[in-house]
Chain A
């Protein structure tokens, strides 16, 4: 239709082919922009261009266990400020298993795991264990009117195996003289997902109850009889909180933050111990002397049911895994990044960082473990040269 109007004036044949005025230029511009964008995107994708990552800054990426994730993120945040924004540490969750897979695939430079590697695995891949903090699993309960509860390992195992089903069962009454225990059914709450917390908790039950060991055994997840399943520590926490006459196992930090009562447990020395950062550290200190070197076999390390009058019985280490030789032909981690990583790990196991653990309800490492970590870190190499 437009053509009709321009056809009368001869000599403008070129314009006839342009039904929409201005369209030509606009399209050339759009085409140029698109091409430029695709080229730039391709350049970024292949790593030829990288905005913002100037020489001075280093980005370190880790993944794995979710249990120490809040603490590692806190450390990352503090370390970023500490280094004036020079070192950015990113940590993604995914669970211990995912972390181990990813460090083996070299998609991350460090991994977090609650369960140690087997001796074969750590020597085959050349990975070292750096215990960075301690956790405790507590038995949270919700019985109206009951503020304190004392349990021993055997009773605890029986409750979760449904051999004890009432709150006023003689076994519980015997441990809690004078407490008014109701005649209600005990509702157990467990983790529905595969979890390090379950692994630690069942590890403890396996040690203290031969019956539990023979029927169930230690596992990241298992089929509990007649229990409510909930996902993650937050899930179990809120389920226990909202279900009267329930009992469940969660990490200490979740119990503390959510102000939920938890049971005192009888330890190896026969004392009833309240889970706290001190009693957790005490358990680690008691085990400290028998720990292997960082590059050794950690698979048998456990500080469950540790000796010592103040040791809380369900405590565990959580580990950072790194390669002993930080350079690899496949990943080509540069020297600056390797140094930044080792510096960060060194900072992480020492006083200043460990004091942050306190605020988030993680137990600080005892001195014996810090010394062990120092030796491990000093043994890390970059192309054969010690990094520190």
Chain B
């Protein structure tokens, strides 16, 4: 048997290694944040956020919000319903097939999705580059993510609840809607918001589907600017600004985009944390009330 001292040292070394790895993993995150804030923060001003290109990025923010909103409109219902199906009714060959293809779809590179939508809607159907075409592309990326998270969170709902409802004579569909979905709601919402945050930063499909615009766009049938495409175009020098100015705008836009995505992510975490706590308290209150009645 090795000496106590040696074992202590090995333990120490392993701990150090683990901490070191964590630090290495943190380097990119921290350096990205620091770099973006350092370069982007000086750009931030009311005009930068509210003016259209080229004095600000307002139209790109509006474009991004519209694209993501329509994508959520199209993708979330389909994704959530798919998730419900494979969780609640998918215990058969059909369900496992859908689950399999859903997993395959989740791993599609986003550029391939963009290309598919471009080929189908723009080249084949003859639609113009527009917000709605981009939303279709993003919704296709969203669907498998949302379906997965929905399935996972519904699976967490204890079977006893389903059995309880069914035993009371509640129809299957009502059980799913009222019992299963209500209890898994927080997970479903979290998954949906995370999927929204995930597609908000997608660039490749947008380049193929919305093109770019210098102007305010409110019609979903027109090309539009979006934050990721604006960053891409400016960084590549595709703007009427000078190269340095375009770079500064790109950094500013990057900061705005990161802030949007991070705030979405953080609010999801806070929300689910609070709900978790509330649930605990609520459950306790419920129990005490029940015991009083009894």
- In the complex, the answer to whether A234 meets B236 with C-beta atoms within 8 Å is yes
A144 CB to closest chain B CB (Å) equals: 23
Partner of B240, one of A53, A63, A77: A77
**CB within 8 Å of A: which of B122-140?**
122-123, 126-129, 132, 135-136
**CB within 8 Å of A: which of B227-260?**
233, 236-244
A-chain residues with CB within 8 Å of residue B128 when the two chains form the complex: 59, 61, 107
- In the complex, the answer to whether A70 meets B174 with C-beta atoms within 8 Å is no
Is A3 part of the contact surface with B, judged by Cβ < 8 Å? yes
B-chain residues with CB within 8 Å of residue A388 when the two chains form the complex: none
- In the complex, the answer to whether B73 meets A41 with C-beta atoms within 8 Å is yes
A232/B236 contact (C-beta < 8 A), A59-B223, A88-B213, A254-B243 known: yes
* Contact flags B194-223 to A (C-beta < 8 A → 1, else 0): 000000000000010001111101111111
In the complex, A263 Cα to B170 Cα: how many Å?
Answer: 84
A257/B236 contact (C-beta < 8 A), A20-B182, A23-B178, A90-B212 known: no
- In the complex, the answer to whether A92 meets B219 with C-beta atoms within 8 Å is no
B-chain residues with CB within 8 Å of residue A257 when the two chains form the complex: 242-244
Is B179 part of the contact surface with A, judged by Cβ < 8 Å? yes
A51/B214 contact (C-beta < 8 A), A70-B239, A73-B240, A107-B126 known: no
Is B89 part of the contact surface with A, judged by Cβ < 8 Å? no
Q: Which B-chain residue is minimally distant from A51 (CB atoms)? A: B219
A side interface size, CB within 8 A: 55
- In the complex, the answer to whether A18 meets B178 with C-beta atoms within 8 Å is yes
Give the top 6 A-B pairs by smallest Cβ distance, nearest first: A74-B240, A92-B211, A52-B218, A52-B219, A37-B73, A90-B223
Is A288 part of the contact surface with B, judged by Cβ < 8 Å? no
Partner of B165, one of A19, A27, A80: A19
Partner of B223, one of A38, A66, A70, A92: A92
In the complex, A233 Cα to B238 Cα: how many Å?
Answer: 10
Stretch with Cβ within 8 A of B (4 or more), from A42-50, A278-286, A312-320: A42-50
Is B177 part of the contact surface with A, judged by Cβ < 8 Å? yes
- In the complex, the answer to whether B214 meets A90 with C-beta atoms within 8 Å is yes
- In the complex, the answer to whether A19 meets B222 with C-beta atoms within 8 Å is no
* Contact flags A1-37 to B (C-beta < 8 A → 1, else 0): 1011100000000001111100110010000001001
In the complex, A156 Cα to B209 Cα: how many Å?
Answer: 41
**CB within 8 Å of B: which of A330-367?**
330-331, 360
A369 CB to closest chain B CB (Å) equals: 22
Is B168 part of the contact surface with A, judged by Cβ < 8 Å? yes
* Contact flags A247-283 to B (C-beta < 8 A → 1, else 0): 0000000100110000000000000000000000000
A-chain residues with CB within 8 Å of residue B218 when the two chains form the complex: 51-52
- In the complex, the answer to whether B179 meets A19 with C-beta atoms within 8 Å is yes
Is B104 part of the contact surface with A, judged by Cβ < 8 Å? no
Q: A41-B74, A69-B238, A85-B215 are in contact. List 17 more A-B contacts (CB 8 A).
A: A5-B293, A17-B168, A24-B178, A38-B77, A44-B132, A45-B127, A47-B221, A66-B236, A70-B239, A70-B240, A73-B214, A77-B214, A90-B211, A90-B223, A107-B128, A234-B237, A257-B242
B228 CB to closest chain A CB (Å) equals: 14
A38/B74 contact (C-beta < 8 A), A77-B214, A107-B122 known: yes
- In the complex, the answer to whether B211 meets A61 with C-beta atoms within 8 Å is yes
- In the complex, the answer to whether A27 meets B290 with C-beta atoms within 8 Å is no
- In the complex, the answer to whether B123 meets A107 with C-beta atoms within 8 Å is yes
A-chain residues with CB within 8 Å of residue B135 when the two chains form the complex: 41
- In the complex, the answer to whether B237 meets A70 with C-beta atoms within 8 Å is yes
Is A71 part of the contact surface with B, judged by Cβ < 8 Å? yes
Q: Which B-chain residue is minimally distant from A75 (CB atoms)? A: B240
- In the complex, the answer to whether B168 meets A38 with C-beta atoms within 8 Å is no
- In the complex, the answer to whether B70 meets A41 with C-beta atoms within 8 Å is yes
A-chain residues with CB within 8 Å of residue B217 when the two chains form the complex: 52
B276 CB to closest chain A CB (Å) equals: 18
Q: Which A-chain residue is minimally distant from B220 (CB atoms)? A: A44
- In the complex, the answer to whether B222 meets A53 with C-beta atoms within 8 Å is yes
* Contact flags A223-254 to B (C-beta < 8 A → 1, else 0): 00000000011100100000000000000001
B-chain residues with CB within 8 Å of residue A61 when the two chains form the complex: 128-129, 211, 223
Partner of B170, one of A17, A40, A258: A17
In the complex, A287 Cα to B128 Cα: how many Å?
Answer: 38
B162 CB to closest chain A CB (Å) equals: 11
B-chain residues with CB within 8 Å of residue A186 when the two chains form the complex: none
Is B39 part of the contact surface with A, judged by Cβ < 8 Å? no
B73 CB to closest chain A CB (Å) equals: 4
B-chain residues with CB within 8 Å of residue A77 when the two chains form the complex: 53-54, 214, 240
In the complex, A63 Cα to B207 Cα: how many Å?
Answer: 12
In the complex, A23 Cα to B176 Cα: how many Å?
Answer: 12
Residue of A45, A71, A74, A77 with highest tally of chain B CB at under 10 A: A45
In the complex, A229 Cα to B286 Cα: how many Å?
Answer: 69
Is A93 part of the contact surface with B, judged by Cβ < 8 Å? yes
Q: Which A-chain residue is minimally distant from B213 (CB atoms)? A: A90
B286 CB to closest chain A CB (Å) equals: 7
Is A180 part of the contact surface with B, judged by Cβ < 8 Å? no
A-chain residues with CB within 8 Å of residue B294 when the two chains form the complex: 4
- In the complex, the answer to whether B236 meets A23 with C-beta atoms within 8 Å is no
- In the complex, the answer to whether A1 meets B122 with C-beta atoms within 8 Å is no
Is A326 part of the contact surface with B, judged by Cβ < 8 Å? no
